Amino acid sequence: MKKHEIRINQWLKENRARGARLLQILVRENSTRGKESSTQAIIIEKCRQLGLTLDIWELGSDELKGHPAYFCDRQSFDGNPNLVAVLKGSGGGKSVILNGHIDIVPVGDESSWRHDPFSGTIECGKLYGRGATDMKGGNVSLLMALEALIANGIRLNGDVIFQSVIEEESGGAGTLAAVLRGYHADGAIIPEPTNMKIFPKQQGSMWFRITVKGRAAHGGTRYEGVSAIEKSVGVIQGLQQLEKTRNAKITDPLFDKIPIPIPINIGKITSGEWPSSVPDTAIIEGRMGVSPEETIEAAQLEMETALREWNQQDEWFRENPLQIEWFGGRWLPGNLESDHPLMNALTSSFSEVLGVSPVIEASPWGTDGGILSTVGNTPVVVFGPGITETAHDANEHIDLEDMFVASEIIALTLLRWCGVNEVSDDDR
């Protein structure tokens, strides 16, 4: 490492408590969909203190809502803004977007949590709470890297465009809004919880809603009706089979260690209003993974074709066909060459900080990287400190050591990607 690189690294090691404290106050705010404002306010204040140029706006422009990559069922964005905070470079260097989402998923069954999901409890070096891993911890890594540069008077050549966006968990309208507002760069890093792995490729995904019709009847004469729940069992089994067929086709070695490269997750089922009635409708909602090698449209077609087959094969479905909607969330897949300069900058920084080579894989989930790369024409790498397995789970937590190390790796990557006037470094 060069002198200024060592200085930054040293500063980050000395200021770990600042990072842990920042993550704790972020986790203590509930930023589930529609409630992002109080958490966003903390990020905004942090960026203001850092002296970044702030751009704060509420989503909802006609351009956004009319865009083909806008898939969002949110009614109102009022009061819950997006933030872009820019650290202007001195010129002549490559620019970078640092993108993190501020929204979190619901806590699920609270009784499964050992701590209050919004406590931010620290125990044995781990910080617990909804969003700790996905991805407030990653955001803190970004902010600490930026603070290290600023606190040490480093002036980068290229711009750093820090983005704190809403709506990632529901399909990326926040990042799309930032792209449409004109933000793009020579590269982007998204510190989603990758277990410190580096993901040049990201699985895309999208939400589906299948409506299964039945015929109501009194439960005591249930043979007079057709149970939407019983019919749903066949649909669930069909979706499991479709998942098998699709995954059998995946050959990319980046997916070698992933049990189900592109899962079809059945996330929700709702059917029936009354224990003593035969339910006449069931709604199945889920998430379909999209391979980095295929398009959203091709994946949709494959599921729609399967549904058409089931509708043909089943006497009841012939008269009362299954309906599918592609609603809400949609994340475009991402696909960066493994030898892209951004990959080289990140992997070499990783090796230098940790003394080992990083694991390079394809991500098991969609991220906002699909929008940044496909719509925003910005090469994207996903790399972050969170623990994949605890994202969206009870007892979500992050290993703080990973968060600190990620900030060192990211800071080093920024220095090398954006460039530094080395003369000024020697002066110090």
Q: Which residues, including other chains, have CB under 8 Å from residue 209's CB and lie 6 or more apart?
A: 283, 284, 285, 324, 325, 326, 327
- Residue 374 has φ and ψ, to the nearest 5°, of -75, -50
Task: Give least dist CB 353 to a copy of itself, A.
Answer: 26
Q: Does 224 bind a copy of itself (CB under 8 A)?
A: yes
Q: Which of 29, 147, 159, 168 is catalytic?
A: 168
Tokens of 105: 């998923």
Decide whether 126 or 416 has the Cβ nearer to a copy of itself: 126
- Under rule CB under 8 A, which residues in 241-270 are in contact with a copy of itself? 259-260, 263, 265-270
Q: Does 323 bind a copy of itself (CB under 8 A)?
A: no
Nearest to 388 by CA among 202, 161, 239: 202
Decide whether 158 or 366 has the Cβ nearer to a copy of itself: 366
Task: Pick the piece of the chain touching a copy of itself (CB under 8 A) from 56-64, 141-149, 299-307, 392-400.
Answer: 392-400
Decide whether 203 or 407 has the Cβ nearer to a copy of itself: 203
Q: Does 279 bind a copy of itself (CB under 8 A)?
A: yes
- Cis peptide upstream of residue 196 (ω within 30 degrees of 0): no
Nearest to 282 by CA among 213, 201, 342, 381: 213
In order of 140, 194, 209, 338, the CA distances from 133 in angstroms are 11, 9, 28, 25
Residues 121-150, mask of contacts with a copy of itself (x by CB under 8 A): -------------x----------------
Measured distance CA(204)–CA(18) in Å, rounded: 35
Task: Pick the piece of the chain touching a copy of itself (CB under 8 A) from 21-29, 181-189, 228-236, 404-412.
Answer: 228-236
Do the beta carbons of residue 23 and residue 137 sit within 8 Å? yes
Tokens of 45: 């204040």
Task: Give least dist CB 304 to a copy of itself, A.
Answer: 17
Q: Is residue 279 classed as helix, strand or coil in its secondary structure? A: coil
| Binding residue count for a copy of itself, defined by CB under 8 A | 67
Q: Does 272 bind a copy of itself (CB under 8 A)?
A: yes
Answer yes or no: 168 catalytic.
Answer: yes
Answer yes or no: 109 catalytic.
Answer: no
In order of 35, 40, 113, the CA distances from 30 in angstroms are 7, 11, 15
In order of 161, 195, 259, the CA distances from 44 in angstroms are 14, 27, 39
Task: Pick the piece of the chain touching a copy of itself (CB under 8 A) from 54-62, 115-123, 383-391, 418-426.
Answer: 383-391
- Please select the residue that binds a copy of itself; options are 218, 257, 318, 428, rule is CB under 8 A: 218
Do the beta carbons of residue 329 and residue 208 sit within 8 Å? no
- Please select the residue that binds a copy of itself; options are 14, 123, 273, 319, rule is CB under 8 A: 273
Residues annotated catalytic, as ranges: 103, 168
Which residues of the chain form contacts with a copy of itself (CB under 8 A)? Answer: 105-106, 108-109, 112, 134, 169, 203, 205, 207-209, 215-225, 227, 229-230, 233, 236-237, 240, 259-260, 263, 265-282, 285-287, 289, 328-329, 363-366, 388-389, 391-394
